[in-house]
Amino acid sequence: MALATFLLVLSAIAGISSLEDAFLREISAARPRHQAEQMIRAMNLLPHVDDSAEDSSPELEMSVERLVERRVELGIKGDSESEVTVEDLGHHAGYFKLEGTHSARMFYFFFESRGNRSKDPLVLWMTGGPGCGSEVALFYENGPFHIAKNLSLYWNKYGWDKVSNIIFVDQPIGTGFSYSSDVRDIRHDEKGVSKDMYDFLEAFFKKHPEYADRDFYVTGESYAGHYIPAVATNIHDHNKKKDGITINLKGVAIGNGLTQPEIQYEAYGDYALEMKLINEDQYKKISKIYPVCSVAVKLCGEKGTVTCLAALLICQTIFQSILSIAGNINYYDIRKPCVGQLCYDFSAMEEFLNQDSTRVALGVRNRTFVSCNPVVHEAMLVDWMRNLEVGIPALLEDGIKLLVYAGEYDLICNWLGNSRWVTAMDWSGQQSYAEASWEDFSVDGETAGSVSGYGPLTFLKVHDAGHMVPMDQPKNSLEMISRWMKGDSLARGEEEMAMDEEAFLVETF
């Protein structure tokens, strides 16, 4: 069925008015690539693609090993606040030849902990987009350093490498410095994404066997709300089947993610009304679009293609309608205007990574760094409206922790939609979680958020933050991830937390 016809059928089923029908005609006329480039340009990240096979890493091409890594020295200024000397801190970058692909190469950074690198856990970070490199988080959020306007690097006082050994990966293929000369290696769904990440992790642990027994956490933000459950579920399945290397998966953390679209798209209108972005009359009109959105999401299912694109186009009408009313707001942080088409300016990172000296240090030769790749973004559009929450209950039942956190001023992946899908999730602790009270998340005596949880599940609404919590609240986000990985409650003392977990185990087993 043609996409336009499918949209008309859905609109007839839902019985939407001429106003909403006009909304659908407008959004269905948009080209996916145009939509991707518009969203990417809104973050001042130039979308362009360089798929030349001539720019591959010489060490990788000549090596018999599939993973080739080098130490990197980037001249970071200031005090690292580590007992380990700067010379001894292990900062690495590498490429990995992906198994089962035609010519795919995955790029990553790996930073050893500034804390206790011999005991601290191992963290995997994935940025969303889809199609945006993890360097966005590395340079502006929770990496070991930040970048100044003059392109110099300085230590991040609140980098997550102070409490963990951390990996930043450019994925899916085509993202950041990752590449392939064969378009068949571009991924379209989470099956391909999770397989590639598992292959990479197996090679990483072979390269670094000293980390094989460490507690391992899968983390990220935004569209990584899709990646994280898929990757964690794949790891957990391999572990249970004793198929491949055993990865000591302890938990997953999703920041301002898109995980359960059907629930999260319904929350847009409620959040916009609560934050006074729209009024009651506008809310009622926009809410009439949701029934057709919900029908479309259900028709998308797990394997749809055209139906999933139709669902995206229909449901995005809700979001776009709010933006058309709210005016010139930054939908990643509604407190701020979006000046021109910039919203955030991450251009210094792109300029730095495309310097010849940086390319030499990283071993990427002449590859052009692409902050956000519209080809990857477009390829993953069929995956956008799929529900990735479905794999999480099995993780919780086996004691793998879940932390969902969200900055309160983010519209696009707002805290309300995230809180609703977490509450609606079907698992043995669902009722107890729903009945759990909200408590303050405090840092140094100051209230930094509101937290609720039960057993292995924790939800945190972060105060004074937008879409990128570690950028807006660096100190509080470090405290959050540190306490959570240690097993400390984000709100209560260790004794109360232990009683709560004991109650969960009694109910479960």
> Which are the catalytic amino acids?
222, 410, 467
In 3D space, the residue among 36, 185, 29 whose CA is nearest the CA of residue 105 turns out to be: 185
Q: Say how many C-beta atoms besides its own lie within 10 A of residue 81's C-beta.
A: 12
Residues 6+ apart with CB under 8 A from 3: 28, 306, 309, 310, 313
Alpha-helix runs per DSSP H in 462-508: 469-472, 474-486, 494-508
Q: Say how many C-beta atoms besides its own lie within 10 A of residue 303's C-beta.
A: 10
- Can you tell me which residue has the tokens 């969960």? 504
Rounded (10°) angle between helices 18-28 and 306-326: 110
Q: What are phi and psi of 108, to 5 degrees?
A: -150, 160
DSSP string, 333-380: EEEEE--TTTSS--HHHHHHHTSHHHHHHHT-TTPPPBSB-HHHHHHT
308 contacts 385 by C-beta, under 8 angstroms: yes
Question: 369-383: buried (b, 16+ CB within 10 Å) or exposed (e) per residue?
Answer: bbbbbbbbbbbbbbb
As given in the structure block, the two tokens for residue 232 are 């964690």
In 3D space, the residue among 171, 188, 187, 183 whose CA is nearest the CA of residue 51 turns out to be: 183
- Can you tell me which residue has the tokens 């559009």? 381
